[in-house]
Structures are given as structure tokens and as C-alpha cells.
């Protein structure tokens, strides 16, 4: 009997989801659960890896049950994940030695600032990894765990500890954990560790030595579409199914948005925003504050690269309005409140809660709201929060254009926030180009499913995947260039106020 479905596990910053897709790329069923955000100190962010693994099992069972799906009808499983979030665990017990250190976490700031001062350090890191020295990436987080968890360095040197980003952690557990679990990652996730050489696609000995990380901790690097291993029959899938797709969440969205041609770009609106531009098979480095990253790899030793603009706090700023300031009960309400005012009343909100990411890369920056007067109501602040998401995207788009010389003609969008029509219209207005929302909005899970299905022959070619992509809505720009330029000038002034806040 021919298999009918491909499953995807999308392990994100705030929640875990399992989705099951049919051959046309339509979602058949989905189950999602949030997990706890742990803030031990200001600027520190952690997750409990055991809670994430528990949630993963729950959503798998939930998706199978909701869709009344027989596991034997599933051809393949794809994994996609919050990328730089770092787990170190005991390979014999499967127990983490510390909580997962989340990509947003700032605890390695002092180390990174000292490292940055070394002559030529940033250039060397950029040349080797395509990245910049930042608290964002996994390497310094692993070093922190080895330096600060009692006994961790000794155990790592003895070969007892394993490292993985969340993709590696989930695959290891699904394939048996301490009983033969496969310790693997793909090129897209490895390119976010600060430990992989962007040209050779192998772990870089010099980076490992500098950070003091034993190579024995690291997973094997494989293509993004490849049979890594099989689920254990006594696990949540209740069957032996190939796990054959693995992509970092933003790269998975590139794949799900079928941005397979040089010059195609997508922007994902999630906890943060991540805009990626396909630059082909040569890893050219940015001169404008962007990262060079692996978009995906379909063959051993080969990759397609992307320029990436990472914006740390976008959807998270809306969550902050909801959870910390209690301005509304549901994130979706932000659209209703923001539409009650015609503009922000002259205020700008720079949500630099984790410093500023692309294209500024300022670890010392902190959030600010500027331009306040007695006129301002909560509706203005909510609208300014939607606008700050659009301004950050505009910053990145301008950097991409400066690097590539290719003007953006339209922007494909995905992620939870794209359901907000006002946000999408503001984005089209501030970019001055159409914004295109696809029918299947959850392109992250879809991209992981596509990579998995390609490896097992469920889908046969990239052209077949392209035929599945369909438009839901196009948002055409209506704002004049003069208005856009004036608003953007105000944003740039606000950015200057946020920079360098921490001495």
C-alpha cells in the first residue's frame, strides 16, 4: 500500500507542534502545546529539555488521534526547530546536565564582548562561520555550560556528554535515546552553532579549540534531506518510520516557501523575525551586518546558502504587551486595538530586549519607547509595536539590497503573525513592495515535511513541491514614498537612542 502522509515536528521557542501533511502539502491534522519560559536572571532565558521532549510526545499522539491517522500510512518524518538553543546531556542516562540555554539568552555577553575586543576576532569568526560574535549562537552557550556546571567539563572530556540543538535532542530521543539513539544534525542547524566551517561544512577544529569544546560532544553533520534513523516502535509514533528531514526553523520556512531560486526571499513572523535570501551555492559574506548561513543541503558535502537578517524580538514584543503589560488578552487582539488609531501618535518602540540583532549587532542595546506625550494611549503603543516589526524587516531588506545588488520585488511571508492583516498591510507600505501570504501559512512544518518526503521518494523533485505553493492574499503598498521615508527617519533616530545602553 502506498503511504499517504508525511509528519513534521516543529519545535519552536514557545511551543511544540506536530503536523501531518498529504501529498499536495495540505495539513491534515495538527496538535500544539506551549512549554514554560524560564527567566532565572534578567536577560537569561532557559527551557526544560525534558518538558520539551514530553510535549513532543504529547503532540505526536495528539496529531495522530485528531487526524485519525494510522502511523503505518506515514512515509517519513521531518524535524524543524528553534535553532541555536543549546542542550547538553548524559549519553548514558539521557538526562540534561542543565536546562536548555535559549537562543535569546544574554548570559554569554561578557565573554562575547571580551572576545570581540581581540584584534581580528570578528573577521576570523565571520570568515570561518559566516556569523558574527554574539550571544545568539550555540558555541558560547556550550562553553558556559562546561565552565559553570560542576563536573561537566570533566565528563565531556571523558566522552560522557553530548551536545545538540533541539533538532538533535528530539531525533536522538525519537530513535531510542540512551538505547541506540542517533546523534545527528543537518548542515542548516550546524551552521548556527559558530562551530561549523561555512565552506567545508565540517566542524572547525580552531573554533572548537578556542571555545574548549571536545569534538566527541558534537553530532554528525548530514544533509537536510537524508534518512538519519528510524523511530522506535515503542515510542509516540508506535511504528518504525524514517526520520529523513532536518532543518532549522527559518531554513525550513525557505524550503516550505519553495525559495529554491537565487534571489528569492521569505520573512517569517514568529517570536523573532527572520528574513532569508537565497544566494546559491557560494557562501558570499555580508558587508552590511547580515549572516551567511546554510539554507539547506540535499547532497553530502553540498549546500545552498542564504543571507539572513535575524530580528530577535518581534512577535515576542506582542507577547510582552499581552503578558507583562496586560494590554489585551489574546495576541490576535493587537490588530483590533491598533486599527482604532490612524498612526502611533509620534512614538517609536525599539524592542531591544536581547540587544539589537541584524543589521546592528549591538549586545549593549536595550528596549526603549521614545516620543511619548500625554496624548498617547495604549492603542498607539500597540500600533507602534506592529510598526516596529515592519521597521526591523525594512532594516534587513535594505542591508540585503546593499549586499546583493538585487532589489526586492515582492516578499513571501509566513508564521503566526501573518494572519494579522493590518501588520501585513503596514509591512507592504513600509517596504514599498507587495507582501504575499501563502495558503499554507505554517511553512516551517511544511518545509521539514518536504525535506523528509524528498529523501524517501514520497515527493520526487523540487519542481513537484513548487506546484503545491498557492497564494492566499497579496498586500499591495498604498503609502507614498515621502511618508515612508519620513517614518523611517524617525525609526533610525529611535534606534540610536536604544544603542549602547549597557555600559
pLDDT on residue 1: 58
pLDDT on residue 363: 87
The rounded mean pLDDT for the chain is: 95
Q: Please tell me the distance from the alpha carbon of residue 467 to that of residue 323, in angstroms, as a whole number.
A: 40
CB atoms within 10 A of CB 176: 17
Q: Are 225 and 245 in contact (CB under 8 A)?
A: yes
> Which are the contacts of 2, defined by CB distance < 8 A and separation ≥ 6?
none
**pLDDT tens track for 346-377:** 999 999 998 999 899 898 999 999 999 999 99
Residue 276, C-alpha cell as written in the block = 532569508
**Mean pLDDT on 291-296:** 94
Would the pLDDT of 104 be above 80? yes
Would the pLDDT of 444 be above 70? yes
**pLDDT tens track for 317-347:** 999 999 999 999 999 999 999 999 999 999 9
DSSP letter at 266 equals: E
Q: What is the DSSP string of 403-462?
A: HH------EEEESGGGG-HHHHHHHHHHHTS-EEEESS--HHHHHHHHHHHHHHTSS--H
153 is in an annotated binding site: no
| Confidence band of 284 (pLDDT split at 50, 70, 90) | confident
Q: Between these two residues, 410 and 179, which has the higher pLDDT value? A: 179
**Full strand arrangement of the beta sheet holding 471-475:** 291-296, 304-311, 273-280, 265-269, 411-414, 435-438, 471-475
pTM of the model: 0.89
**Mean pLDDT on 177-194:** 97
pLDDT on residue 66: 95
Closest C-alpha to 137, from 167, 157, 107, 162 = 107
Would the pLDDT of 411 be above 70? yes
- Give the distance from CA 217 to its chain's centroid: 23
432 is in an annotated binding site: no
310 is in an annotated binding site: no
25 is in an annotated binding site: no
pLDDT on residue 307: 92
5 is in an annotated binding site: no
Q: Between these two residues, 229 and 277, which has the higher pLDDT value? A: 229
| Confidence band of 442 (pLDDT split at 50, 70, 90) | confident
250 is in an annotated binding site: yes
| Confidence band of 410 (pLDDT split at 50, 70, 90) | confident
420 is in an annotated binding site: yes
Q: Please tell me the distance from the alpha carbon of residue 55 to that of residue 58, in angstroms, as a whole number.
A: 5
83 is in an annotated binding site: yes
pLDDT on residue 262: 87
Helix (H, G, I), strand (E, B) or coil at 288: coil
Q: Between these two residues, 407 and 347, which has the higher pLDDT value? A: 347
Amino acid at each position: 500500500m502506498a503511504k499517504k502522509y508525511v509528519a513534521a515536528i516543529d519545535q519552536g521557542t514557545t511551543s511544540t507542534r506536530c503536523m501531518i501533511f498529504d501529498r499536495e502539502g495540505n495539513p491534515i491534522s495538527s496538535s500544539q502545546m506551549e512549554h514554560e519560559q524560564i527567566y532565572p536572571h534578567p536577560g537569561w532565558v532557559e527551557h526544560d529539555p525534558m518538558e520539551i521532549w514530553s510535549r513532543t510526545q504529547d503532540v505526536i499522539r495528539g496529531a495522530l488521534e485528531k487526524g485519525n491517522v494510522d502511523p503505518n500510512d506515514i512515509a517519513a518524518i521531518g524535524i524543524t526547530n528553534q535553532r541555536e538553543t543549546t542542550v547538553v546531556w548524559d549519553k548514558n542516562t539521557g538526562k540534561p546536565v542543565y536546562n536548555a540555554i535559549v537562543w535569546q539568552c544574554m548570559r554569554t555577553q561578557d565573554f562575547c564582548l571580551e572576545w570581540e575586543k581581540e584584534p581580528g576576532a570578528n573577521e576570523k569568526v565571520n570568515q570561518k562561520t559566516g556569523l558574527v560574535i554574539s550571544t545568539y549562537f550555540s558555541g558560547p552557550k556550550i562553553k558556559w555550560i562546561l565552565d559553570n556546571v560542576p563536573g561537566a567539563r570533566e565528563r565531556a572530556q571523558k566522552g560522557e556528554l553530548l551536545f545538540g540543538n533541539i533538532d538533535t535532542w528530539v531525533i536522538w530521543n525519537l530513535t531510542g535515546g540512551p538505547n541506540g539513539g542517533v546523534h545527528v544534525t543537518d548542515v542548516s542547524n550546524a551552521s548556527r552553532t559558530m562551530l561549523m566551517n561555512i565552506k567545508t561544512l565540517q566542524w572547525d577544529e580552531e573554533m572548537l579549540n578556542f571555545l574548549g569544546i571536545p569534538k566527541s560532544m558534537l553530532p554528525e553533520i548530514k544533509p537536510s534531506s537524508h534518512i538519519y534513523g528510524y523511530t522506535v516502535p515503542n515510542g509516540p509514533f508506535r511504528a518504525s518510520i524514517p526520520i529523513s528531514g532536518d532543518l532549522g526553523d527559518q531554513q525550513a520556512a525557505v524550503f516550505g516557501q519553495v525559495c529554491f531560486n537565487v534571489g528569492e526571499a521569505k520573512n517569517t513572523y514568529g517570536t523573532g523575525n527572520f528574513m532569508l535570501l537565497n544566494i546559491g551555492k557560494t557562501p558570499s559574506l555580508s558587508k552590511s551586518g547580515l549572516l551567511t548561513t546554510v539554507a539547506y543541503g540535499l547532497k553530502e558535502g553540498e549546500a545552498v546558502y542564504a543571507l539572513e537578517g535575524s530580528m530577535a524580538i518581534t512577535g515576542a514584543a506582542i507577547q510582552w504587551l499581552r503578558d507583562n503589560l496586560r494590554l489585551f488578552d489574546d495576541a490576535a487582539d493587537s490588530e483590533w486595538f491598533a486599527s482604532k488609531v490612524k498612526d502611533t501618535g509620534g512614538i517609536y518602540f525599539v524592542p531591544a530586549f536581547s540587544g539589537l540583532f541584524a543589521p546592528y549587532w549591538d549586545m549593549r542595546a536595550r528596549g526603549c519607547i521614545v516620543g511619548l506625550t500625554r496624548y498617547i494611549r495604549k492603542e498607539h503603543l500597540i500600533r507602534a509595536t506592529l510598526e516596529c516589526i515592519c521597521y526591523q524587516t525594512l532594516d534587513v531588506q535594505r542591508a540585503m539590497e546593499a549586499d546583493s545588488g538585487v532589489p526586492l520585488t515582492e516578499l513571501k511571508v509566513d508564521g503566526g503573525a501573518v494572519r494579522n492583516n493590518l501588520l501585513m498591510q503596514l509591512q507592504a507600505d513600509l517596504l514599498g513592495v507587495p507582501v504575499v501570504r501563502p495558503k499554507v501559512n505554517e511553512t516551517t512544518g511544511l518545509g521539514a515535511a518536504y525535506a523528509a518526503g524528498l529523501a524517501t521518494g514520497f515527493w520526487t523533485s523540487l519542481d513537484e513541491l513548487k506546484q503545491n505553493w498557492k497564494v492566499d492574499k497579496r498586500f499591495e503598498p498604498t503609502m507614498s514614498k515621502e511618508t515612508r521615508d519620513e517614518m523611517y527617519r524617525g525609526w533610525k533616530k529611535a534606534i540610536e537612542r536604544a544603542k549602547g545602553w549597557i555600559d
